[in-house]
Structure 1
Amino acid sequence: MGLETVVKDIMDAANAEVSRIKAQTDAEVLEIIEEAKDESKRIMGESLAKAEDDIKRMKQQEISSANLEVKRTLLNARKGTLEEVYDRSFEIISSLPESKDKELLNIIIMNNESKGKRIYSNAKSEKLVRELSSLEYAGNINCAGGVVIENEDGTIRLDYTYDVILKGVNEQFLKQTSDILFG
């Protein structure tokens, strides 16, 4: 066996080893690439699912926020309407014809005169109150109408002004008024 044959055998063996290593490396590279593709698909799927969940959550938040704003606007409109009803009622009571004012004052005074010593009214109703009541007229007060009856030492004041009566009725029947107006 000659030197050339030994060199050729060594070269053939080295070339075969290089081919084997290259084939093994190519197979490992392909395996790593496939694993990377699978991992990227998994990550992409998770990211897409998270993005879809985020979009759904944001959409639900926007819808909830819009619904809340609609409710707030509706409540403010209803509140405004109820305030208008109250203001209009106050205007009507403030400008009652003298006959109706006399009728209401007479009922209030008849039912409550025995509870006091002095009586107050607005300037517009002073003459009428003096006619209807046997109590000492104590002066004018700022109100839409009605009277305030006070005991002898001034410790008890019964407020039967139209302002207070209307406010009490408004508070007592606010829900019913709202139901009538808005269903």
Structure 2
Amino acid sequence: MGLETVVKDIMDAAQSEVSKLDSEADAEVSLILDEAKQNAKRIMGERLAKAEDDIKKVRQQEISSANLEVKRTLLNARKEILDKVYVQAVETISTFSPEKNEELLKSLIESYESSGNRIYSDAGSEEIVKKLSSLEYTGNIDCLGGVVIENEDGTIKLDYTYDGILKSVNERLLKQTSDILFG
């Protein structure tokens, strides 16, 4: 055998080994790339799922916040309407005719004067109260109308002023009034 044949055999064997190593390297590179692609898909899927969850949470928070704001605005509007109704009631009471005022005062005095010794009223009703009541008239108070009846030592004052009655009725029936007005 000649030197050329030996060199050729060595070259062929080396070429074969290089081809084999190239094939193995290509297979290993392909395997690594496939694993990397699978990992990338998995990571992308996880991040996408997390992003979708985050979006859902943010959306739900925004919806909850918007609903809360709507409820707050609605409650404020309802309160404003109820306040207007109260103001209208006060205005209506303040425009009672003298006959209506006398009728109401008579009813209050007949019902409650036995509970006290002294009586107060607004300045406009003083003469009517003095005429209708057997109690000692003690003075004027600032109110829409009605009377305050007091016991002898001043420890008990019963407020039967129109203001007090309206306030009491309003507090007691606020929910019912709201239900009637707003369903």
- TM-score normalized with structure 2 length: 0.93
Per-residue Cα deviation, 1:156-178 (whole angstroms, up to 9, x for no partner):
11111111100111111111211
Summarize deviations over 1:66-92 as a string: whole Å, max 9, x none.
Answer: 222111111111111011101110111
Matched, 1:10 2:3: no
Match of 1:105 in 2: 105
Q: Aligned residue for 1:26?
A: 26
Tell me the amino acid that sits aligned with residue 65 of structure 2.
S
Give the letter for the 1:166 counterpart. L
Per-residue deviation, 1:22: 1.2
In the alignment, structure 1 residue 68 sits paired with structure 2 residue 68: yes
Counting only pairs closer than 5 Å after superposition, residues 19-98 of structure 1 correspond to structure 2 as: 19-98=19-98
**Structure 1 position 136, deviation (Å):** 0.9
Counterpart code for 1:41: K
Count of aligned pairs: 183
- Alignment partner of 1:138: what SS? strand
SS of residue paired to 2:155: coil
**1:123 aligned residue:** 123
Q: Distance in 2 between matches of 1:95 and 1:130?
A: 21
Counting only pairs closer than 5 Å after superposition, residues 123-142 of structure 1 correspond to structure 2 as: 123-142=123-142
One-letter identity of the residue aligned with 2:100 = K
Could you tell me which runs of 5 or more consecutive residues in structure 2 were left unpaired when the two chains were aligned: none
Question: How far, CA to CA, are the matches of 2:156 and 2:59 in structure 1?
Answer: 61
| Percent identity (aligned) | 69
- Alpha-carbon separation, structure 2, partners of 1:85 and 1:34: 75
1:176 aligns with 2:167: no
The unaligned stretches of length 5 or more in structure 1 are none
For residues 61 and 68 of structure 1, what CA distance do their matches in structure 2 show? 10
Q: What amino acid is the match of 2:140?
A: N
Give the distance between the partners of 1:59 and 1:114, measured in 2 at CA. Answer: 66
- Report the secondary structure of 1:174's partner residue: helix
> Which residue number in structure 1 is paired with residue 114 of structure 2?
114
The whole-number CA distance in structure 2 between the counterparts of 1:151 and 1:173 is 29
In the aligned structure 1, how far is the partner of 2:152 from the partner of 2:52? 78
TM-score of the aligned structures, taking structure 1 as reference length: 0.93
Q: Which deviates the most, 152-161 or 6-15?
A: 6-15
2:127 is paired with a residue whose SS is: helix
- RMSD of aligned Cα (Å): 1.4
**Range that drifts further, 9-18 or 156-165:** 9-18
Residue 154 of structure 1: aligned partner: 154
Answer with 53-62 or 102-111: which moved more. Answer: 53-62
Which range moved further: 137-146 or 15-24? 15-24
